[in-house]
Structure 1
Amino acid sequence: MKKLTSRALLAKLFGTSAKDVAVKKSLLTGYAAVGTTKVCVIGTCDGTYVDNAAALHLAAQVIDCIEHHPKMPIVMLVDSAGQEPNRVAEMLGLASYFGHLLSCLELARRNGHKLITVATGKAVGGAFICYGMFGDRIYALDSASVGLMPVEAMSAVTKIPVPVLTKLSKTMPSLEFGAQPFALLGGVEEVWTLDDGVAAKLEKAIATASPVDNRAELGKKRGGRKLALDIRKKVLTESAR
C-alpha cells in the first residue's frame, strides 16, 4: 500500500481539524480534535531525524499546552529514523535537549495531561525514546517500524556478527523491528490498521488512558517478556524492606 502523505495521515486521525496542525520541517505541532475531545498534537513525519532544534520546537508546544489548555490530552505521533547522527548535535548537548523535552512531558503528566503515542512510520532509537516511549499508552500502525536499535548498530556495539543477531531476532522480539514484535514485548498496547477506523480507536485510547505503566504485565501475558514483571515485583518488595 502506498504510504500516505503527512497531511492525509493527519486527516485520517483528526478529520477536518487536522488543518490546525502545522507541518514544518517534518515536525508536527498544533491542536486538533478527536471526536469531541480537543487535543494537543506534537510529532514527526517523513522519517526525519530529531536534532536539538526539533526537540526545543516540540517542547515549546508542550509548554504552550500546559499553560493555556489545562489537562488537554497530548497526542504524540512518531515517524523518525532516530536522533540526528552528527557530532555537532552531540557536542551541543543533544541528550540534554531530549531531557528538556521529556521533562516538559513529565510536567504535563503531573498536571493531568494524558499522553498518547501513535507510531505512524519509523519509531527508532533516541527519537522514539525522547518522547514517543514516554506515552501513558503507545499504539502503532501495522506498517510502522518500531524498535530501539537496528541489528547493524547492535553489532557495532556488542561485536556480535550481524548474521547471528539477525538469526536471534527471529525468536527474540526485542531484536526484531516492527509493530507486532514490540507489542509482544508489551511496548505497544495495540496495533492498528490505517483503514480500520483509526480516529475512533484514538478516541477510545484517549478516554481509557492511564498513567499506570502496564507494559511489563502485557509483555508477560503475550509471552514477549516472561521475566520482567516478576523481577520488578521482587525488586520493589526487597527495596520496601
Structure 2
Amino acid sequence: MDWQHLATQLFGADHGIRRDGFFLHGDVTFDGQPITVLGTTEHAPIGVQLALAQARVVLDTLARHPGRPILLLIDTQGQQLRRRDELLGINRAMAHLGMCLDLARRRGHRVLGLVYDQALSGGFITSGLIADACDALPEAEIRVMRLPAMARVTKLPEALLAELSEDNPVFAPGVGNYVAMGGVRRLWEGDFQAALREALANAPTVDQRAADGAARGGRRLAAEVIQRVLQAV
C-alpha cells in the first residue's frame, strides 16, 4: 500500500507526515493524542544516514515529548549494501537506532511497528522487531533471508529448504508465517483506525513473541528454552 493512502486512512488528509527521500517523519494527532511517526518508503535501503535520521527523531521525541507513542511505518529492503556505508559503520548505526527504540520503550513510550509494504533483513530487525508490538497489513511481504541465500549460509540444498518451508514457518517467508512465529502480533484488516486504537491500548510492554509463537504453533520450543535458561541462571 502507498504510504500516503495509509496515512490518510489513519490520520486524515492533513496528516502532517513528510517525506524526505526514503524517510518518513512527522507529528500526527489520533483520538486527540499526539503521536510521533517515522519510517521509510519505496523499499528503502537502510544506510548510515537513514538509520541516524530515524534515531534522531526517536531521541528528539524522548527529550521533548516524554511518554508520547511512536509509530514506525516499515517498508525496507534491508541494510544498504554499499562500501561507503560499510566503511562508515552501518552495523553501529543500525544498532544505535535499535538502542534508541529500546530506550524509548524503557522510558514509557509505547512503540508500535506496522509493516505496510515490505520488511527484509536488518532493516526490519532494528525497527519493527524491537517495537512493543509489530503488526502488518495482509498484503505485506516479510522475510529475513531468501531461500537461495539461506541455502548458501546453511550449506543445505535449496530444494530441502523449500520442502521444509511448506510446513515450518521458520524456514518460510510471508506475513502469515511471521504471525505464526509471533514476530508479527496481528494483521490489520478492515478499519485501520480501529486497529491502531487497539494497538495503542493493548500492545504488550513485555516481550511475548516466543510465547505467541508457541501458542500459534510456529515456534514450538523457543519459549520453553527461554524458561529453562532463566531457571538455570
1:201 correspondence with 2:169: no
Counterpart mapping for 1:132-147 below 5 A: 132-147=128-143
Query: What TM-score do you get using the length of structure 1 for normalisation?
Result: 0.92
1:72 correspondence with 2:64: no
Query: 2:118 matched to which residue of 1?
Result: 122
Given that 1:6 and 1:46 are in contact with CA atoms closer than 8 Å, whether structure 2 keeps it comes out as no
1:13 correspondence with 2:10: yes
Q: How many Å separate the matches in 1 of 2:194 and 2:33? A: 11
Unmatched 5+ residue regions in structure 2? Answer: none
Secondary structure, aligned partner of 1:142: coil
Pick one of 68, 91, 98 that aligns with 2:94.
Answer: 98
Shift in Å at residue 171 of structure 1?
A: 1.2
Cα displacement string for residues 151-176 of structure 1 (whole angstroms, at most 9, x for unaligned residues)? 12212212223222222111110121
1:151 correspondence with 2:123: no
**Larger deviation: 30-39 or 121-130?**
30-39
Query: 2:216 matched to which residue of 1?
Result: 222
Q: How many Å separate the matches in 2 of 1:103 and 1:186? A: 21
Secondary structure, aligned partner of 1:40: strand
Given that 1:35 and 1:200 are in contact with CA atoms closer than 8 Å, whether structure 2 keeps it comes out as no
State the number of aligned residues. 233
List structure 1 runs of 4+ shifted beyond 6 angstroms: none
Unmatched 5+ residue regions in structure 1? Answer: none
Identity %: 34
Shift in Å at residue 17 of structure 1?
A: 4.6
Secondary structure, aligned partner of 1:32: strand
Secondary structure, aligned partner of 1:88: helix
Pick one of 209, 228, 232 that aligns with 1:234.
Answer: 228
Secondary structure, aligned partner of 1:192: coil
Counterpart residue type for residue 130 of structure 2? F
1:182 correspondence with 2:178: yes
Query: What TM-score do you get using the length of structure 2 for normalisation?
Result: 0.95
Query: 2:18 matched to which residue of 1?
Result: 22
Shift in Å at residue 191 of structure 1?
A: 1.2
